[in-house]
Structure 1
Amino acid sequence: MVSEGGGPMRLLTRVSMIAAGRRSRWVVIAAWLAFAMLAVPLQADLNERAADESETFLVRESESAAVKKIVDERFRLGSETAAVIVYFRESGITPDDGRRADTDALALCRSAAIPNLRMVATPYQRACGEADPLDMSPGASLLTSPDETVILSTVLMADDSTPDIEQAVAAIREVVPPATGDESGLRAFVTGRAGFEADRNAALGGVNGTLLAVTVAVLLLLLLVTYRSPLVALVPLAVVALAYLVTSGLAYGLVAAGATDISGQTTSILVVLMFGAGTDYCLLIVARFRDELRRTRDVREAMVAAARRTGPAIVSAGAIVIGTMTILALADFNATREMGPILALGVAVMVCAGLTLLPAVLTALGRRAFWPAVPRLDPGSAPVITFWERVAGLVHARPGVIAAAVAAVLAAGALAGLGGRPALDFSESFREAPDSVLGQQVIRDHFIPGRAAPLRIVVADDVAGKVQSALTEGTHTPVADMHAVARSVGADGSSPGAEAQGRPGSANDLITFDADLRMDPFSEQATDAVPALREVAERAAGGRTVMIGGTVAENYDARQALGRDTGLIVPVSLALILVVLAVLLRAVVMPLYVIATVILSFGFALGVSSLVFTHLMGQPASDPNLPIYAFIFLVALGVDYNVFLLGRIREQRRKHETRRAVTEALARTGGVITSAGLVLAATFATLMVIQMESLFQIGFVVTLGLLADTFLVRALLVPALAIMLGERNWWPFNATALPPEAPAHGESRRQPGRIVSASRTLPR
């Protein structure tokens, strides 16, 4: 830790003194309440912005993103989002079923509930919408399954914003037969890109409220068990809630200014991160404040002392999380990149609240905050949890055995994940298959599988025929059918020249085609086929503009981007954490093995969860985002708890040599840091209530990793390694023990060869 005379320490002490002042504490509380009240109206606006995820899962500067941009900007009839209605009767479609499809189409045409409706078509008619001169859409034979059990209708909309898609799909499902079947047994499923987006958003709909309710309930229970006081259990939650409201307001400001974007996934993780990490920061101050109240009668003096002792660790831990989250802004994958600034902002606001609002509230409440377990003035005692005294003694006596045993367990778990897991396809993305997935499965079983999510191809019109032939003829490509959708036009109706990103330009007009694959477009096989398709198309175009986008290509580009992002973000994050720890501890050796142990717990969590998902849950596939998200959260937050322990070791080392400092620090901090670890693990576990498999997996892996870090790494492995290395922990800056100081008023009594606390002694 920095010395008590250092500038940073003086600044933290000054902040705490102001926040805990007799009059200034009310100013601090009023200011936070005012900021939070101003931010409340912006909550709805932020959620509305987060609901639109039309760009969230794209990759910046990728070919698929360029296709989407060109189609949106240059094609009058090419920028539609399609909802595919799957009419299914197992015994065979009847003439009445065909008439029902036509009737539904006309009803949808007359409906005012579908925003930006462009066209509705059945196998038998175009119910509404103008035909493009180049239109070669599939005819009735291609919209009726070979076994005549399925017919398809299409609803095209001119906008792909998520709220409009949700509204449109809801309106369609009100008109068509239910997925369970009508009175005649005819079933209808709404699928296609619009159906997928609507069902995904429905799975996340209201999730922030659910997460908040579950998180608050879990945290309240844990805090009541820890402190046995209802008031002090509510205080941290109230502080975090106000910080969350302020963060939401600031985040909306950033989004409105165009500085970043936000998605529903980001807002969900923001809730979990702020309530988990924020409550932990509050716990450290509350625990130290309670200790100081036993040593001094003056409440303000107790708070200043508590903040002086815990402030540097909180700021350092917060800096690690803020820095790590900010690094996410380097990612190419939009969902990852946009998450970074928002999460970093949330943690920064939480640190400020922990160092200002919490001290103000606690000093205003005084000892009453801990009722009925009010801490009594007892300067001669040092509160130590007996269980952690025994753990500290065990680690002190057998550091080598404990370090080897824990490392072996973690390594064995990590090895379980070396085989890797296939990526989740769309049908596996939900805990329970929604309407769109069921519809896609019907298409896959009875049609060309790619009909529900075609490739989108943009090509110069003078080579369009060559590209179409190259992609559809022969067995070397998996394209089964291709049909033109539209020709590019300028704002005045003219046909502009093309300057396509990532491909040579063409002076000719552009045409966009949809191409249906012979395979399930959401399978890994389809994703793997994208680079070969692009190579074939580019060769056929002979240097003219040609680009392939659509859902399948977007999945491929996302997978490639995630690999690149991992290769960049992981080393940069580790370097940042190493620098922060080296500055905090003024050493290199200890930061190196601390980072190594946290990486080991990350590998353990990923490996063991792989076994659980595959063999216990029957889900061998993995979300492609899982490794990088789990790494970021586990490493950043895992190092957090080590910072709390290491900061106390550094503090104790000002009185003792390293081995004794480690043992006493573990005995004194074991309870509060373990409680903090349980709190954070419990908050991430709430992600498992969400019906999206990706967030469920993130919640499971991070929870498992945090538990491993709390009970194995931080409680046993790191202290054991620190004891084994002794004074070498501090190489190269301070290889010898710091000069001992006289015990502070109320500190434990020391005797040679023993660590003496309230009632127990530990072998030295």
Structure 2
Amino acid sequence: MRASAIPSGRRSKWAVLVFWIGLLAVAGIFSGKFDSVVQNDVGTFLPKNAESTQAIELAKKFTPDVSSAVVVYERGDGAVTADDRALVTADARRFARLAHVTTPIVGPVAAKDRRAIELVVPITSAGTGETGASEIEAAVKQMRSILRSHPGLTTHITGPAGYAADQADAFSGADKALLLLTVAIVIVILLFTYRSPVLWIAPLICVGVALVVAQATIYLFARYGSLTAKGDTQFILTVLVFGAGTDYALLLIARYREELRRHEDRHEAMAAALRHAGTAILASGVTLILSLLCFLVAELNSTKSVGPALAIGVASALAAMVTLFPALLVILGRWVFWPVRPTFGSPEPAQRGPWTRIGRVVSRRPRATWIGTSLALGVLALGLIGFTADNMQLKDSFTSTPEAVTGERAMALHFPAGGGDPVQIIGSAGAAEPLRSAVAATAGIADVTPPVVKNGHVYLEGTLTATSNSKAAFATVDRLRDAVHAVPGAEAKVGGGNAVNLDYRRAAEHDRTLLVPLVLVVVGLIIGVLLRAVVAPLVLLGTVVLSFAAALGVSALTFRHVFGFAGADPAIPLWIFVFLIALGVDYNIFLMTRVHEEARTHGTRRGALRGLNATGGVITSAGIVLAGTFAALATLPLVFAAEIGFAVAFGVLLDTFVVRSVLVTALTYDIGRRMWWPSALSREETTSDHEEAAPHTLAPR
């Protein structure tokens, strides 16, 4: 039995449905526990051999696993008074009695300008993942309620705990809101595409089932395996499963509708649709899955784990759309297309719309078309000039201005810029004094704490003069590392927030250098095997790389001059690259598999026009769905999510309307049968290989 006959079989379709119902029942038990395995600790992001990771482990001997809340008191009408100091001291005593707050609380510390006072309150989190984050959030909320009744003083809570609480507050309910928005976008687009009040229900059900199964699988791997689930995994997983799953559904529906006009039996029609469209759908899904699995060789643990987690989501969507979805369509019958049901023997709808006109223009001057299009994309890529992804500071990571950001700005006005985020130095106890001298002598260090010796190690903290996570702060960390590494016998490690972010940036740069060519090789090999050619994969890869550069160039300009973002996370270019390359190749696969099919009968040039006609509408709908789902990420309150959402949405639309329809079609038409070299198809000559084929409607077979 052919694999395509299983979900379309008269009896086997029911077996497929029962299997997925049972799987959903089991997966539903575990999917709700997904948040319990989410980890946002910085130590879980970095590679184990990173110096800051080693410093984190050594520092646990001296300090509990705490997140510091920095409380800043400002008096805008003059110097702080003795009564203000007494009030802050009383606050410190009240903070010390709160759950998860540990002692000693540092302060009150008066600013040199005498207009502000500072407290540093350590908060422990006994749990991990969502539990640990909720403990920090609860403690900060209690502290903020205490601070509300301080007349004449402006108060802020910032520092790592303040940021963690603001992030948790910003994301409160965001996962459900994003899911509802994504569902609404998909429904609207499907209703507009098919103008059917019922057809949209089937793909939506299947995508929802796929998401539940994916969440359950990721939970099990994170709970009992070595997978690390990040906080942003859930958000990207939602839009990726809905976007990719709906794309696969659209492609299958389009081919199924064609086959229903050629086969009286809907089971035979679905089997034929799966044979023809299934290859493209499987190739598309496998391309994205393998591209994401390439992340397993990344240095960053966050990247290494998020890639496979998203690959699980794509695999779940792919499995649902080639088994459950076709079975459900066959069970429902032709009426699901109401009010325009495709009947047996009815002619294909006339295709004299925009794709016919585009094909006519391309066929007249294909070389001028692809050269002009390439130059236009190259101009768009010039927006990358000056774009860097290494200057995102924590205060710039929100699309709004939460209290932690205003608090950090207040700290910068009155205290040393790095006071709330000191560097940590841990070394051998015998080198305590030489280490302290080396730290104190390092340019960019404002103050050094006395050495603390314990269990053969010494612990120091240094206050930076530069703002946390700035280029100046990173330069100070590098100088400090050079200085302490030169102390004989110290075996010192430098950690702290700035060191962590510096190591994160460098690991992200390493991962970009490694993964970009690796993903291109994987994608190229899959296309080569699918089309049995060498030229076609190289041409298609060139188009998607050019499309990526153009999309990122426009996005970089938009980030700076429209949205006003201060920078980009170091991991942003890699994520945008993978999504745009793997998803952009999807549409090329959808198009070129149809062109390859048509070329066997009509020749490559005529096949290019027929392929464009046949796939233009469905690929456009798929692109709009995918762009809409990723655009939903821009509603989240983090710059990271907004940048990914905009760049991928814009890139998908650019690829759908320009690259795939114009550039790829023009290149295929101009290159002709040589596109399939060295397969036999590259040696089969037809009239259309020598003459321009007149655009035509796609005649039924």
User: CA 1:20–1:759 in structure 2 vs 1: closer, same or farther (change >3 Å)?
Assistant: closer
Q: Deviations over 1:247-277 (max 9, x none)?
A: 1111111111232110111111111111001
Structure 1 residues 684-763: aligned runs within 5 Å = 684-734=630-680, 736=682, 754=694, 756-757=696-697
CA distances 1:624-652 after superposition (whole Å, capped 9, x unpaired): 21111111110011011100001101110
Alpha-carbon distance between aligned partners in 2 of 1:404 and 1:739, rounded to the nearest angstrom = 26
CA contact under 8 A between 2:418 and 2:467: conserved in structure 1? yes
- Contact kept? 1:399, 1:723, Cα under 8 Å: yes
SS in 2 for 1:40: helix
- What is the deviation of 1:359? 0.7
CA pair 266-18 structure 1, distance change in 2 beyond 3 A? same
1:395-451 Cα deviation digits (max 9, x unpaired) = 112211211221111100112212223621111110112121211111111001111
Return the alpha-carbon distance in structure 2 between the equivalents of residues 381 and 435 of structure 1: 60
| Partner Cα distance (1:607, 1:178) in 2 | 47
Write the mapping of 1:147-546 to structure 2, written as runs, cut at 5 A.
147-159=113-125, 161=128, 163-176=131-144, 182=149, 184-381=151-348, 384=351, 386-421=353-388, 423-473=391-441, 476-484=442-450, 486-488=452-454, 495=455, 509-539=456-486, 541-546=487-492
Instruction: Measure, in 2, the Cα distance between the counterparts of 1:737 and 1:286.
Output: 34
Distance between the aligned counterparts of 1:531 and 1:758, measured in 2? 64
2:593 is the counterpart of 1:647: yes
Task: Compute the displacement of 1:374 (Å).
Answer: 1.7
- Please name the residue that 1:105 is paired with: 92
Say which SS state the counterpart of residue 449 (structure 2) adopts: strand
Matched, 1:554 2:503: no
Larger mean CA deviation between 479-488 and 32-41 belongs to: 479-488
Greater shift after overlay, 94-103 or 574-583?
Answer: 94-103
Q: Tell me, yes or no, if structure 1 residue 118 matches structure 2 residue 118.
A: no
Distance 1:753 1:102 in 2: 85
Q: Distance in 1 between matches of 2:407 and 2:348?
A: 69
Q: Which amino acid aligns with 1:352?
A: A
Change in Cα spacing, 1:652 to 1:461, as seen in structure 2 (3 Å) is same
Q: Distance in 1 between matches of 2:443 and 2:250?
A: 59
User: Structure 1 pair 598/756, CA: closer, same or farther in 2 (3 Å)?
Assistant: closer
- The Cα of 1:189 is off from its aligned counterpart by 1.6
Contact 1:15 1:355 in 2 (8 A): no
Query: For the Cα contact (< 8 Å) 1:385–1:671, is it kept in 2?
Result: no
**Superposition TM-score, scaled by structure 2 size:** 0.94
- 2:32 corresponds to 1:64: no
- 3-state SS of paired residue (1:249): helix
Could you tell me which amino acid in structure 1 is paired with residue 105 of structure 2?
A
Return the match for 1:90 from 52, 63, 76: 76
In 2, the alpha carbon distance for the partners of 1:608 and 1:110 equals 52
On the 8 A contact 1:586/1:734 being kept in 2, the answer is no
Q: Deviations over 1:568-613 (max 9, x none)?
A: 1011111111111110011111110110110111111111112122
Deviations 1:372-411 (A, max 9, x none): 2222333444653522112112211221121122111110
Quote how far apart the aligned CAs of 1:15 are.
2.6
1:52 CA drift (Å): 4.1
How far apart in 1 are the matches of 2:347 and 2:97? 82
Structure 1 length-normalised TM: 0.87
Q: In the superposition, relative to structure 1, how do residues 238 and 37 fare at CA in structure 2: closer, same or farther (>3 Å)?
A: same
> What residue is the counterpart of 1:146 in the other structure?
112
- Structure 2 contact 428–489 (Cα < 8 Å) conserved: no
Q: Give the 3-state SS of the residue equivalent to 2:218 in structure 1.
A: helix
> How far off its partner does 1:622 sit?
2.1
Q: Which residue of 1 aligns with 2:610?
A: 664
Structure 1 position 66, deviation (Å): 0.9
Listed one character per residue, the Cα deviations across residues 536-586 of structure 1 (whole Å, up to 9, x for unaligned) are: 1111x2142200011100111011111111111011111111111110011
Percent identity (aligned): 35
| 2:137/2:164 contact within 8 Å kept | no
Q: 1:565 aligns with which of 511, 517, 522?
A: 511
Q: Does 1:21 align with 2:5?
A: no
CA distance in 1, matches of 2:420, 2:212: 41
Distance 1:155 1:323 in 2: 46
Per-residue deviation, residues 452-485 of structure 1 (Å, max 9, x unmatched): 1111111112212112112213xx5211112147
Q: State which of 33, 36, 46 in structure 1 corresponds to 2:34.
A: 46
Backbone CA RMSD of aligned residues: 2.2
Deviation by residue 1:671-694 (Cα, 9 ceiling, x = unmatched): 001111111111110110011011
2:123·2:161 contact (CA, 8 Å) conserved in 1? Answer: no
Shift of 1:56: 4.3
In structure 2, distance between residues paired with 1:303 and 1:216? 26
User: What is the CA distance between 1:738 and its match in structure 2?
Assistant: 5.2
Give the whole-Å Cα distance in 1 for the aligned partners of 2:506 and 2:698.
58
Q: What is the total number of aligned residue pairs between the two structures?
A: 692
SS of residue paired to 1:736: helix
Per-residue deviation at 1:521?
1.3
User: What is the identity, as a one-letter code, of the residue corresponding to 1:95?
Assistant: A
Residue 753 of structure 1: how far off its partner (Å): 5.8
SS of the equivalent of 2:601 reads coil
Is the CA contact (8 Å cut-off) linking 1:459 and 1:547 kept in structure 2? yes
Q: Which of 594, 618, 630 is the aligned partner of 2:576?
A: 630
Which consecutive residues of structure 1, in runs of 5 or more, have no partner in the other structure? 1-10, 124-139, 489-494, 496-508, 741-750
Using the alignment, how far apart are the partners of 1:105 and 1:64 within structure 2? 30
**One-letter amino acid matched to 1:316:** A
Distance 1:192 1:272 in 2: 31
Q: CA deviation at 1:755?
A: 5.6
Q: Distance in 2 between matches of 1:752 and 1:379?
A: 30
Following TM superposition, by how much is the alpha carbon of 1:758 offset from its aligned partner in structure 2, in angstroms? 6.3
In 2, Cα distance between equivalents of 1:758 and 1:608 = 36
CA distance in 1, matches of 2:134, 2:470: 25
Task: Deviation per CA, 1:496-522: give whole Å up to 9, x if none.
Answer: xxxxxxxxxxxxx11222211011012
User: Residues of 2 paired with 1:66 and 1:484: CA distance?
Assistant: 22
2:71/2:155 contact within 8 Å kept: yes
- Alpha-carbon separation, structure 1, partners of 2:696 and 2:423: 72
Amino acid at match of 2:224: A
The C-alpha deviation readout for 1:150-203, integer Å capped at 9, x for no partner, is 212222234474533442343333344688x64613222222222222223333
Deviation at 1:122, TM superposition (A): 5.2
8 Å CA contact retained: 2:484, 2:490: no
